């Protein structure tokens, strides 16, 4: 079984019940999540050997965060304990034409104040075959950029495949800062995951004749984006998720996977989603893609599995995608009826 390592911040998620706004709620739901942790949970649910690496305080909230991963079988033995606080994000779920709102309270979190010396990457990567991180982690500060570079160098020295979801977050850094850091990190990345906006925000590469808000996507434009990314940085594969936003509830969801070696541009089927919770949708795609590539699926099979996994995540509350391989393969195979299983 392949061993996978993911690295990033695990956060406390506080969310008003149902679809209340922040200004009207008087109690909130308490869960955990974070880009790379969400990917780790997906992979653990698929039966993969996956470890999540971060730094969390030794107090009870830090332990609750660790426990949220343990319950799904994620290896937490590489998590460093220390620091003063767990980062928080407040999530207000959108409805109809009102979009969701995310407010961060993550300054001075344990991982943001961590030092490169906290992580022994040679030891962390023992026996590993795959390393995954996102653009959110280096956005936390120059020390995290350094840590991501050190991790990538150590992974490359061991012949470990590296995947990265660009995940641009404008609330964490500027486009110029993202471009500088991600350009340096891109030289180590084998599999790049992006969406219709990230490639433009981070690298200035965009699809022509596309209106994501009006629900119009141009397949040829995305093929061009994927090829430009691969040509510029030497990626082996480029995945682009394609979201057509009709409202906060209703989205079209599909993806494309470009395999440089075979020169294949494979587009998945499109799912018309009625969304329960979209947070972690991209991460569930990443987890599905990593599983597919490690399992030897073809380019078309890999993108179909990843999109189906993500489509199911949009029906599940919380950050984590709690589905099995069998459930994903059933949907990818064409059974999207939602009929009761007896």
The answer to the question of residue 342 being in a domain is no
The answer to the question of residue 340 being in a domain is no
The answer to the question of residue 339 being in a domain is no
Say whether pLDDT at 105 is over 60. yes
Q: How many domains does the chain have?
A: 1
Taking the C-alpha atoms of residue 165 and residue 191, their distance in angstroms, rounded to an integer, is 9
The answer to the question of residue 29 being in a domain is yes
pLDDT tens by residue, 141-185: 999 999 999 999 999 999 999 999 999 999 999 999 999 999 999
Taking the C-alpha atoms of residue 103 and residue 92, their distance in angstroms, rounded to an integer, is 9
At 98, list the tokens.
């009102």
Average pLDDT over residues 42-53: 98
Distance of CA 273 to the CA centre of its chain: 19
283 is annotated as an active-site residue: yes
pLDDT tens by residue, 179-203: 999 999 999 999 999 987 899 999 9
190, 198, 283, 319: the catalytic one is 283
Largest CA distance in the chain: 55
Domain with residue 268: its CATH number is 3.40.1190.20
The answer to the question of residue 197 being in a domain is yes
Domain that holds residue 59: 3-332
Query: Which helix or strand (DSSP H or E) is residue 162 part of?
Result: strand 161-165
Instruction: Give just the sign of the alpha carbon dihedral 319, 324, 325, 331.
Output: negative
Q: Rounded to two decimals, what is the model's pTM?
A: 0.94
The answer to the question of residue 174 being in a domain is yes
Quick check: 170 and 137 in contact, CB under 8 A? no
Query: Which helix or strand (DSSP H or E) is residue 324 part of?
Result: none
pLDDT tens by residue, 106-151: 999 999 999 999 999 999 999 999 999 999 999 999 999 999 999 9
pLDDT tens by residue, 61-82: 999 999 999 999 999 999 999 9
Dihedral angle computed from the Cα positions of residues 258, 297, 54 and 242, in that order, rounded to the nearest 10 degrees: 40
- pLDDT computed for residue 206 by the predictor: 85
């Amino acid at each position: 079984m392949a061993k996978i390592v993911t690295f990033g911040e695990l956060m406390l998620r506080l969310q008003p019940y149902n679809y209340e706004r922040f200004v009207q709620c008087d109690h909130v739901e308490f869960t955990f999540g974070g880009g790379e942790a969400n990917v780790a949970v997906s992979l653990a649910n698929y039966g993969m050997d996956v470890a999540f690496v971060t730094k969390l305080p030794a107090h009870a909230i830090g332990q609750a965060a660790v426990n949220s991963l343990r319950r799904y079988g994620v290896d937490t033995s590489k998590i460093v304990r220390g620091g003063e606080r767990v980062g928080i994000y407040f999530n207000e779920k959108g409805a109809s034409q009102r979009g969701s709102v995310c407010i961060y309270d993550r300054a001075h979190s344990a991982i943001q104040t961590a030092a490169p010396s906290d992580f022994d990457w040679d030891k962390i990567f023992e026996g590993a075959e795959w390393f995954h991180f996102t653009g959110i982690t280096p956005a936390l500060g120059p020390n995290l950029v350094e840590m991501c570079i050190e991790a990538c160098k150590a992974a490359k020295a061991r012949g470990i495949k590296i995947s990265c979801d660009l995940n641009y977050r404008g609330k964490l850094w500027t486009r110029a800062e993202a471009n500088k850091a991600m350009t340096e990190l891109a030289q180590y990345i084998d599999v790049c995951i992006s969406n219709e906006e990230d490639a433009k925000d981070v690298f200035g590469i965009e699809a022509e004749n596309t209106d994501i808000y009006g629900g119009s996507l141009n397949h040829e434009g995305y093929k061009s984006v994927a090829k430009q990314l691969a040509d510029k940085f030497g990626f082996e594969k480029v995945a682009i998720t394609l979201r057509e936003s009709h409202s906060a509830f209703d989205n079209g969801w599909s993806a494309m996977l470009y395999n440089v070696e075979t020169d294949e541009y494979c587009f998945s089927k499109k799912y018309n989603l009625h969304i329960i919770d979209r947070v972690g949708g991209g991460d569930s795609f990443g987890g599905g893609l990593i599983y597919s590539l490690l399992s030897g699926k073809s380019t078309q099979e890999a993108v179909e599995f990843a999109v189906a996994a993500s489509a199911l995540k949009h029906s599940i509350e919380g950050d984590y995608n709690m589905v099995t391989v069998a459930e994903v393969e059933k949907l990818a195979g064409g059974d999207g009826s939602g009929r009761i299983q007896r």
